Structure 1
Amino acid sequence: MGNWLLPESLADVLPAEARRIEELRRELLDLYRTYGFELVAPPLVEYIDSLLSGTGSDLDLRTCKLIDQLSGRTLGVRADMTPQVTRIDAHLLNRAGVTRLCYCGNVLHTRPADLLSSRELLQIGAEIYGHAGFEADLEVIQLVLETVAIAGVRNPRLDLCHPGVLRAILKSDPAAAELSQDAIRLMRDKDVPGLGELAARAPGIRAETLKALQLLPSLYGGPEVLHEARRELPSLPGVAEALDALQAVVDAMPNVSFSVDLADVGGYAYHSGVKFALYAEGWHDALVSGGRYDDVSRAFGRARPATGFSLDLRKLAAGLPPAERARAVRAPWGQAPALTEAVRRLRRSGEIVVQVLPGHEQDQDEFVCDRELALQDGVWTVKTL
């Protein structure tokens, strides 16, 4: 094994791709600032009990752990920045009103999400704290759509879900509630026969509950699924509230392509309201994910309504067309004052100037030198090549 080999599902980012990612990072953070979002930068590593507070078991399995040599306590390398930002809002900023926070940083997963994913992500996102109303959800979704539009993503589709539908069904039946973890696992696999077999393991489960659980995996499609769900699912207050919240999002954005999946249980223990994922041609799975998670900050001693989204900038950049090479000026190497000043003046004006070191030819994938700084009649002048 060569010393240059990297661990599985980790990779270097080479110049053209690195530039594309950095340009996206700057552009998106500037966009979020125009919406009033403040930038925060939590640490890469922190105590595991703080890092995983209120997030459920899924994040625990994705988090790399190590022992702190100073305290002897277990540390975690963050696998998701959202809980850290929630801690900052609830514990450090401690504001009474609405707070908008954005962030960008590396996260590490113990295992890749799938065969095509990396274990290291460059996560960027935005969160709104302090407002429980529909308006915050709508602002977050609008910002998601503007985010992918700036990146050049075409024809995005938003997939909606609400964990309140399944929660209400399970909560209404004590026998079903006792098997909630099994029901969630079967729902994740869309295992309708397996859901039907729950009756054998919980004889007291009501027929109406069993029928509703088996129906949820089929409630997938366009926004019309919400009308079908109202007809077919039990008339429970929690179900009605969840469907109303989803319908409000669809009605508020008539020009957006929506789909609905009422059996989506990803992040079930984490999300508390409208949940969404954005898909687009060119990416094999969800490009952006987000939603409401009002209960997470409770673990930090101060419950705050919260909604937001995040995405991996590396994944976003990987699905975009190759970036065009930047135009640059080629210049000879030298320390003559006139040459040095000419190069400095060009760079200050925003030009890329590549000085060719003695004995070498200009060899870069990142730039195309279509002009040259040349001495003409005693004056350094830019000439077209």
Structure 2
Amino acid sequence: MVWSCNAGRTKVRTGVVVFSALKDQATVALPADTDYARRALLPAGLRDELPPEAEHRAHCIDTLLRSFAGEGYERVDPPLVEFEDSLLNGADASVAAQTFRLMDPVSQRMLAVRPDVTVQIARIATTRLGGRPRPLRLAYAGSVLRVRGDQLNPERQLTQVGAELIGPDLVTADVEVIRIAIEALRALGLKGLSVDLNLAPLVPAVLDQYGIHGDARSELRAALDRKDAAAVAALAGPAGETLAGLLAATGPARAALMLLTSLELPAAVAPYREKLKAIVQAILDEVPDIGLTLDPVEHRGFEYYTGVGFSLFATGVRGELGRGGRYGVTPMDDEPGQPATGVTLYLDAVMQAAPSAKPRKRLYLPLGTPATIAQWHRSEGWVTVAGLQIDHDPAAEAKRLNCRHVWISDAIVAL
């Protein structure tokens, strides 16, 4: 058994891999030493989703995908488990470290449970849909499983909904992905949305230009992450003025962009700034009412991005609603890579911000109600709950089954 993290003992029985709870997760105490309690217990970071939350999740997924579909993004549905070598082809180290692995008893090859759907979309785009014309617009929704949660979200099974635009390396493509993400979230009724733009390749390019490598580079990168201007000045040497300017160019997009434009950047990194300027201006033109901020030194979680990245936020919601940006699709063979840009929405965060769909009215139909009556009311938007035995008090039975209306004497009676 191959295991990427220290997760305690692992057993393999007839092809079924049983993972013990992670050592650093809190132990859940059983209320009593009963068989029922043991069967009800789930692994750390996993949970049952019950009504009405499960219905709310389904509504959110459907609304987001319909919004993407309206923009020409066709849905794909890759499997939960793949061969390890194909799933992790081109993935960065953080994805590999979050991946559950198990042995396939049929092929005797290692399998991996996807920790992220984007890597699968890249595989599909370069193999099964490799001959489709570009730009290729794809959308997806599905669960992912990760070795560990994080401080903001301890859950290990998450739902991702996203869209990927594969083909052109154009400002218009970057802007389209950001715009459709905003519009999809607004279709769910989200308010107070904002977008934070970053440019992950910018700082590494500056450090390369000034020949900053090794431990000095790591220390300087950590200081930039902390937004510690004094430490940056002490560590950066000749790059100090440029990096201080990048730190200052953080905040509301218009003001930050003016500061960024005034900087004298090395010739090798100036094109990054020009593309960022074009994207900012296009977003402000197309979505003028969106909150737009800029952080040119942010890179955590964006390490594999090759251009502008972004995070989505909503007022009153802790953490990101999603993130995306420009990256490169790595092919399975020796073919050249393809440029791509996309967005992944974190459904658990989105659900916190999205207003719940108005519950449908439930109508109780006592035993013997004609099927045509039930069909007609369902066509009118009712949820019909059929009685399975003769009720002496249909109204009481309706209330017991969470129905606020009952069919009595060929009429709907409100309770």
Structure 2 length-normalised TM: 0.80
Q: Describe the shift of the 1:75–1:189 C-alpha distance in structure 2 as closer, same or farther (beyond 3 A).
A: farther
**Who is 1:264 aligned against?**
298
* Residue 374 of structure 1, aligned match among 381, 386, 408: 408
Do residues 17 (structure 1) and 50 (structure 2) align? no
Q: What residue number does 1:317 align with?
A: 351
CA distance in 2, matches of 1:328, 1:190: 54
Give, in whole Å, the separation in 2 of the partners of 1:35 and 1:323: 23
Question: Could you tell me how far 1:192 is from its partner in structure 2?
Answer: 5.0
Match of 2:111 in 1: 75
2:72 match: 36
Could you say what secondary structure the match of 1:253 adopts?
Answer: helix
* In 2: Cα distance, 1:75 partner to 1:46 partner: 5
Structure 2 equivalent of residue 47 of structure 1: 83
1:95-110 mapped onto 2 (5 Å cutoff)? 95-110=132-147
2:320 is equivalent to residue 286 of structure 1: yes
Q: Deviations over 1:171-203 (max 9, x none)?
A: 21334378555544554344556656657xxxx
Structure 2 gaps of 5+ residues are 1-29, 31-36
Q: Out of 185, 189, 200, which is 1:148 matched to?
A: 185
Question: Are residue 221 (structure 1) and residue 251 (structure 2) matched?
Answer: yes
CA contact (8 A) 2:242 2:265 kept: no
Is the alpha carbon distance of 1:302 and 1:363 closer, same or farther for their aligned partners in structure 2, counting shifts above 3 Å?
farther
Alpha-carbon distance, 1:382 to partner = 3.2
**Against the structure 1 CA distance between its residues 75 and 265, is the aligned structure 2 distance closer, same or farther, given a 3 Å change threshold?**
same
**What's the secondary structure of 1:326's corresponding residue?**
coil
Structure 1 unpaired stretches of 5+ = 200-206
Alpha-carbon separation, structure 2, partners of 1:364 and 1:222:
54
Q: Which residue of the partner structure matches residue 274 of structure 2?
A: 244
Q: Which has the higher contact order (CA 8 A, sep 6+)?
A: 1
Tell me: CA distance 1:268–1:325, structure 2 relative to 1, closer, same or farther (3 Å).
closer
Alignment-derived partner of residue 170 in structure 2: 133
Task: Give the counterpart letter for 1:7 in structure 2.
Answer: P
Do the aligned partners of residues 64 and 217 (structure 1) sit closer, same or farther apart at CA in structure 2, a change above 3 Å counting? farther
1:333 equivalenced with 2:364 (yes/no): no
Give the partner amino acid of 1:325.
P
Deviations 1:275-305 (A, max 9, x none): 0001112321111201011x23245544111
Task: Find 2:100's aligned residue among 64, 67, 87.
Answer: 64
Give the corresponding residue for 1:204: none
Q: Is the 8 A contact 1:17 1:317 kept in 2?
A: no
Distance 1:299 1:272 in 2: 19
- Residue type at the aligned position of 1:353: T
Kindly provide the amino acid, as one letter, of the partner of residue 57 in structure 2. Answer: I
The amino acid across from 2:276 in the alignment is L
SS at match of 1:107: strand
SS of corresponding position for 1:382: strand
Q: Residue 353 of structure 1: which of 371, 379, 384 is its match?
A: 384
For the pair 1:297 / 2:330, whether they are aligned, the reply is yes
Q: Any idea what SS the aligned residue of 2:319 has?
A: coil
Hey, what's the Cα distance between the residues in 1 that align with 2:205 and 2:162? Answer: 30
Q: Cα distance 1:168–1:187, how it changes in 2: closer, same or farther (>3 A)? A: same
Q: Percent identity?
A: 30
Amino acid at match of 2:306: S
Question: Aligned partners of 1:36 and 1:287: how far apart in 2?
Answer: 22
Whole-angstrom distance in 1 between the partners of 2:268 and 2:184: 32
Aligned to 1:203: none
> Taking structure 1 as reference, are residues 174 and 96 closer, same or farther at Cα in structure 2, changes over 3 Å only?
farther
SS state of the match for residue 361, structure 2? strand
Q: Which one of the candidate residues 109, 122, 130 is aligned to 2:159?
A: 122
Structure 2 contact 123–331 (Cα < 8 Å) conserved? no
TM-score (structure 1 length as normaliser): 0.86
